[in-house]
Amino acid sequence: MNDNLLEIRNLAVEYHTDDAVIYAVNDINLTIKKGETIGLVGETGAGKTTIAKSILRILPSPQAKLVSGEIHFQGQDLLQLSEKEMRKIRGNKIAMIFQDPMTALNPIETVGFQIAETIRLHNKISRVEAERRACDMLELVGIPMERFGEYPHQFSGGMKQRVVIAMALACNPELLLADEPTTALDVTIQAQVLEMMQSLKDKLNTSVILITHDLGVVADFCDSVAVVYAGEIVERGTAQHIFDEAAHPYTLGLFGSLPKLDATERRLKPIKGLMPDPTNLPKGCRFYDRCPEATEKCAEAPPEDIEIAPGHTVKCVLARKM
């Protein structure tokens, strides 16, 4: 029996401007099992948010163009569904926590109304019942139900993020897309929000795609990891694979640029240079110009995915030697 909840196959997305074509996502393949949490890690501009928005089909129009690919959710290809059919899935079976809680909420509606609106949209229930469920959701994320009638500006950043999470989980979605849900929060509130998300995930058995820059968050929260670079997944495996047996030079560079309390080095080792221009990607390996291990072969043709251990794949010609 197939326990895969979501399967992304050969996904490619471009953004068209008056001057150029931006190749944001290039031939992505990704599988998420029921109840699994996968972390998408990479630099800003790598294409992580574009992947999430492609799943929900909320890419900006007309700039974004979905060039190719399939996104199968519970046996359905989401890219073949009508807009009416997708509206039944968004917020109901698949929900998203957006990066900035300050802009994710409507400033002229109460937080309780916004949560109740989501519930009523996908359930044939009365307004009173929807409001009761909204109050339950507020309590679930640690906000007293007495604040149901308050407006977003009356909440702190951390409390706003809790409201956004309550809204995303209001209909018990089977897949939650969390786009850097703790980036705007201080460390203490970040830990509380992540602990709450983990508790809710376990309670509701929700699958999660977590987009983040923070490898510490990935270590605490994720079962598996996909490292994204210049629109490609360059390494994929379990959290243990990535943290203990990282093989791609980019992944190793990410770990090398992190401060370590037990290290004797006085300076960090950042990855040199910048990501390639997304309007003019190199013919060979996208990491070629920044890779300390690069050879002439790396510049000639794009590397293929190589499985170096069961479930651990690396897009690097050097992987065969590891």
Per-residue pLDDT band at 202 (split at 50, 70, 90): confident
The yes-or-no verdict on residue 86 having pLDDT over 80 is: yes
Per-residue pLDDT band at 2 (split at 50, 70, 90): low
Question: What count of other Cβ atoms lies within 10 Å of the Cβ of residue 144?
Answer: 9
This prediction's pTM: 0.89
Q: Give the SS3 label for residue 250.
A: helix
Mean pLDDT, range 294-318, rounded to an integer: 90
Give the separation between CA 287 and CA 234, rounded to whole angstroms.
9
Q: In what order do the strands lie in the sheet with 312-315?
A: 94-97, 175-179, 207-212, 37-41, 224-229, 232-238, 312-315, 305-309
Note the pLDDT of residue 141: 82
With beta carbons less than 8 A apart as the criterion, state whether 316 and 234 touch.
yes
Per-residue pLDDT band at 248 (split at 50, 70, 90): very high
φ and ψ of 284, to 5 deg: -95, -140
Note the pLDDT of residue 247: 92
Note the pLDDT of residue 319: 77
With beta carbons less than 8 A apart as the criterion, state whether 200 and 171 touch.
no
Mean pLDDT, range 20-47, rounded to an integer: 92
Domain boundaries, the chain: 248-322
Name the residue with tokens 């997944």: 233
What confidence tens digit (pLDDT) does each residue in 101-151 have?
Answer: 778 889 999 999 999 998 998 888 899 999 999 999 898 888 999 999 999
Note the pLDDT of residue 203: 81
Q: List Cα–Cα distances, 133 to 167, 171, 188, 269, 292, in angstroms.
A: 11, 10, 28, 50, 55
H/E element, 70:
strand 64-73
Name the residue with tokens 């910048």: 274
